[in-house]
């Protein structure tokens, strides 16, 4: 498998996993510094260097004026990776257990936007189906809104399968 590079915030919090080529580009554009390298080397006729394993942003990019992009992973982050119809005690879930739910169903004109989409587990999504909240008595824990900030959840990285070079930068899972 192609080696990947772990991207950190300026304060060493993991935010993203990158293709190593993108990491090299950021290093040469001086937007990030290399924190750890792999043993593997890349050579061109004139230089030989090691593939970056971990890089750190020099500064956090400023969010764009149009706000946070609507995307699956950003909706999950806004909702803390919790199904909005399960009791709060159900806790966080893996992205693979989650899906989008239209609060106002598409069949009733509900749109795929920040204020009509919530995170739901597959069984709740199936149960709610095309029904309105009132009809089935399922209401999201939090009213869906376009977020102004996202909590930094970071990528979910399994320590066991992560390269050793990353370990020092991965949060301990309780």
- Residues contributing to the site for Zn ion (CB under 5 A): 83, 85-86, 121, 124
For Zn ion, give the closer residue by CB, 15 or 133: 133
Under 8 Å between Cβ of 57 and 49 = no
For Zn ion, give the closer residue by CB, 112 or 123: 123
Cβ neighbours of residue 120 closer than 8 Å, sequence gap 6 or more: 83, 84, 85, 98, 99, 100, 101, 128
For the beta carbon of residue 14, count every other beta carbon within 10 angstroms: 20
- Shortest reach from residue 88's CB to Zn ion, in Å: 11
- Shortest reach from residue 77's CB to Zn ion, in Å: 17
What is d(CA 137, CA 21) in angstroms, rounded to the nearest whole number?
49
138 CB-contact burial (10 Å; exposed 0-12 / middle 13-18 / buried 19+): middle
- Shortest reach from residue 127's CB to Zn ion, in Å: 8
- Shortest reach from residue 75's CB to Zn ion, in Å: 15
For Zn ion, give the closer residue by CB, 76 or 85: 85
- Shortest reach from residue 96's CB to Zn ion, in Å: 14
For Zn ion, give the closer residue by CB, 20 or 76: 76
For Zn ion, give the closer residue by CB, 24 or 124: 124
DSSP letters for 36-78:
EEEEEEEE-SS-EEEEEEEEEESSPPPPPTT-SPP-HHHHHHH
């Amino acid at each position: 498998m192609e080696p990947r590079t772990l991207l950190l915030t300026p304060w060493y919090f993991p935010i993203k996993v990158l293709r190593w080529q993108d990491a090299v580009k950021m290093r040469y554009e001086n937007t990030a510094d290399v924190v750890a390298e792999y043993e593997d080397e890349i050579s061109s006729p004139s230089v030989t260097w090691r593939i970056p394993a971990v890089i750190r942003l020099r500064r956090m990019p400023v969010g764009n004026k149009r706000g946070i992009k609507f995307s699956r992973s950003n909706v999950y982050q806004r909702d803390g990776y919790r199904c909005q119809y399960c009791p709060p005690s159900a806790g966080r879930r893996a992205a693979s257990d989650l899906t989008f739910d239209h609060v106002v169903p598409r069949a009733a004109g509900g749109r795929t936007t920040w204020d009509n989409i919530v995170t739901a587990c597959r069984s709740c999504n199936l149960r709610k189906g095309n029904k309105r909240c009132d009809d089935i008595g399922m209401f999201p824990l939090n009213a869906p809104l376009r977020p102004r900030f996202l909590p930094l959840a970071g990528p979910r990285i399994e320590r066991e399968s992560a390269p050793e070079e990353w370990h020092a930068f991965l949060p301990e899972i309780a």
